[in-house]
Amino acid sequence: VNATPGSVAIDDETTYRKYQNISKALQHINVTYWMYYRSYVQNTRDGSTHACVYAIVLGKEGDSYKFEQGYERTLRNGSTEIVKVMLYATPYKTETVTTAREVDNAMRVHRDKSSSGGRKYKLVYADDKCRILRLLDEDKLNNCELYVEDAYVDGKVPSVCESMYGNACGKNHDSYRRMVYNQSCKNIITKPNQASTELPTEETP
């Protein structure tokens, strides 16, 4: 079976808008979501690699949602450390090709609460088990991330989530599903932040 790129057009189809309410997705407070796989090779400023990426929304503050993001960082010398940072997600609407949207479907992720910048993500699909995000500020619009809710992450990816991800982000080739999660990831939740260096502003894994 040939590798099939994802369709960005799916993001704007009115059929899927009921699954693209970013504010509703962010209202799941104190629930851990794990990045299961992504469709792109991550480039970090320090040459490190990130695994076990998770996000936990802690609450709403003004127009933004505060959340904890954590991950295991493997440095170029082979050593590992747990990194945990507080970030903010500010919802907004993307422009549409068809009819205007009624609710926010995207977010800016930033470290400074008052920032008007940040990395932009579009919510492609969300249900009670997973979220599919597409990065908007990169060269390739096919840069996707699949997050799976903690209660479901150790099983097979829920079939609807897998199908939606394949259609929106690519399928039939491992390059579209670069694993980030593994069975030992949950061990990092209880570990303290071990970051040995100050992270660059607005670096997100």
Which residues in the chain come in under a pLDDT of 70?
138-140, 196-205
Q: What is the pLDDT of residues 88-130, one digit of tens each?
A: 999 999 988 778 899 999 999 999 999 999 999 999 999 999 9
- Show the beta-strand stretches assigned E in the chain: 4-5, 32-38, 49-61, 64-74, 80-92, 106-110, 119-126, 130-135, 144-149, 170-171, 178-179
pLDDT at 198: 56
The pTM is what? 0.93
pLDDT at 202: 39
Domains annotated on the chain, with CATH: 4-187 (2.40.128.20)
CA distances from 33 to 36, 69, 119, 185 (A): 9, 10, 19, 12
pLDDT at 205: 46
Cα–Cα distance measured from residue 100 to residue 50, given in angstroms and rounded to the nearest whole number = 37
pLDDT at 47: 86
pLDDT at 138: 62
pLDDT at 197: 60
DSSP, res 78: S
